[in-house]
Structure 1
């Protein structure tokens, strides 16, 4: 039987992730700690008294206002969905159906997967050998601007995953000025771990959109919430593609409680940065591994053999992520910054002093 499914879907691979159980899980860049118990109690109490038989806000208006207040952004330009990964596909629908998607490689897999699934022409610009972004090559890949409407979407993660590198803001400014016919999407999933963010850039350029998530520093990966910070004009059109009543009551309440108590995030980010530095300094003593600088909550490590390193760590109960199948990352593994105890266990498993 021939299935009535588009060839682009049939020919697309599955998302490249196979879950593996291990005592110490450092493979998905999650927060090292769960949502605080006292905040869970507040959220559960609110849920107990909330009406479950009623729909939530049409476009998550109350939550958008809370996010906007926290991020110093207009509520009209804040668009909330069930994960920032949903927005990656929606932004292609908004600007690149039949058009183009430009990004870098290696990169977060969904940029390329969604482009292919939605029939957009994909251009991936390789990072330099030192994992920095080659902005001249990105701008060259755009080609001439036609001025005949939207050309497509550009995805630039900042900090970059999976390398942890950070594109300079003045380089993003160059790109924003060079792509007036494009939507420039800066994915800031890990922005809390970096020294700055791109909000000023997005304020100056209406075609720049920022993506953010509650899955990393906020410790709410299981809740599944992300959002876009955009100009009012872009956000108004983007909302047309977001399913109505799409953010659940549980998601709304959990995020509102988190936003009312942001101090726990600041504390955890500070711990993560200290532990990231401790891991990096210790790994620099490894005889054959090379740790790359990172501005996120993970480290990319070049090893002589990623498969062997991954298997050896897993045999000692520590799960990391192989990245050696990605462009330019031969021999690389990626480790999330975990708890102090988890990080020490990883270092012992790696054979370096704690």
Structure 2
């Protein structure tokens, strides 16, 4: 007799059955410095105001024109005009999925520098596209321009992702190199600006000059990781194609209203970002001063550092109640590398004390 469960499992693609789900570390009771979240919550008076506002929403109705209004509000917040197309995703991850789906023709290729954000490759493979990863320069994690241009010429990618700054290296790559890549690209070039609140530059000017360039941002690093709002900007003719694939009602009324509230109090979040940029420089200097540690300059809200033994250091910190990210298995260029999210002053003080103890 056929086992009905095994029969059902056999209907699922073999590559899906062989894959691993994205793992989120349990964090109860720990100092959470593993996911590049903004560590600051809203002041109590704003929490109360937001709660009252969310409580008054018509939760019995599907999201309607409020979603479109939020899209335009985010475009205005980014500083672009109404001629620029914009669409929303349930976080940037959904937008990456929609972009991948939009180019998912037989034989199509997605290209990105590596190491980089893992979802570019994961979603390309889920849609059965070719993925080409072009290694960064080993010493400074900058783009290897010659290798990128050669890969573009060889593979003719339908979609190129350039994270700006990059995750996990926090690198803000050379703007001239990026422009030449965009000029050489036969398809879409997506500038993933998830960490834009912490960076000294953006790529909106490039988007204006190069019609194949799209800019993707998220409110997660802005301070709303739990709200899951991503948005995509670019030439309306391109963004409209992605909009066709967006699931109806993908942004809940609760999430949309929380996003509107955050934009109305953007000064609060801007002050938090400024504090985190200051703390980033403090943390970077302290990491550089630790024996055996090499930290790379950051333009995000995280710092990549190489330690003598990443696995042992990660385990020791976790045992002390401090969660960071061990990225050493992501790519050979990241051997013995750890990624530290920038926290509050007290968070960073504790991290440095525990890390110093672990390393000694």
Q: Residue 103 of structure 1 aligns to a residue in which SS?
A: strand
Moved more, 23-32 or 75-84: 75-84
- Once the two structures are superposed, residues 6-48 of structure 1 have per-residue CA deviations (whole angstroms, 9 ceiling, x without a partner) of 2332233222443344431111100021234333323322222
Query: Match of 1:12?
Result: 19
Query: Match of 2:347?
Result: 342
Instruction: Tell me which of 201, 207, 210 is aligned to 2:206.
Output: 201
Contact 1:8/1:119, CA 8 A, preserved across alignment? no
Instruction: Tell me which of 152, 170, 176 is aligned to 1:142.
Output: 152
2:164 aligned with 1:164:
no
2:304 aligned with 1:300:
yes
State TM-score, norm by structure 2: 0.92
1:145 positional shift? 8.2
1:280 positional shift? 1.1
2:269 aligned with 1:265:
yes
Distance 1:101 1:91 in 2: 10
Question: How many residues matched?
Answer: 346
Contact 1:276/1:297, CA 8 A, preserved across alignment? yes
1:170 to 1:344, Cα distance in 2 relative to 1, 3 A: same
Query: Match of 2:323?
Result: 319
Distance 2:18 2:321 in 1: 36
Q: Identify unmatched segments of 5+ residues in structure 2.
A: 1-5
Query: Match of 2:161?
Result: 155
Query: Match of 2:217?
Result: 212
1:279 positional shift? 0.8
| Structure with greater helix share of residues | 2
Distance 1:168 1:338 in 2: 27
2:121 aligned with 1:121:
no
Contact 2:295/2:305, CA 8 A, preserved across alignment? yes
2:106 aligned with 1:101:
no
Contact 1:47/1:253, CA 8 A, preserved across alignment? yes
Moved more, 58-67 or 341-350: 58-67
Within 5 A, what are the aligned runs for 1:27-106? 27-57=34-64, 60-75=67-82, 77-98=85-106, 99-106=108-115
RMSD (Å), alpha carbons:
1.7
State TM-score, norm by structure 1: 0.93
Instruction: Tell me which of 223, 227, 238 is aligned to 1:223.
Output: 227
List structure 1 segments (4+ residues) > 6 angstroms apart after TM superposition. Answer: none
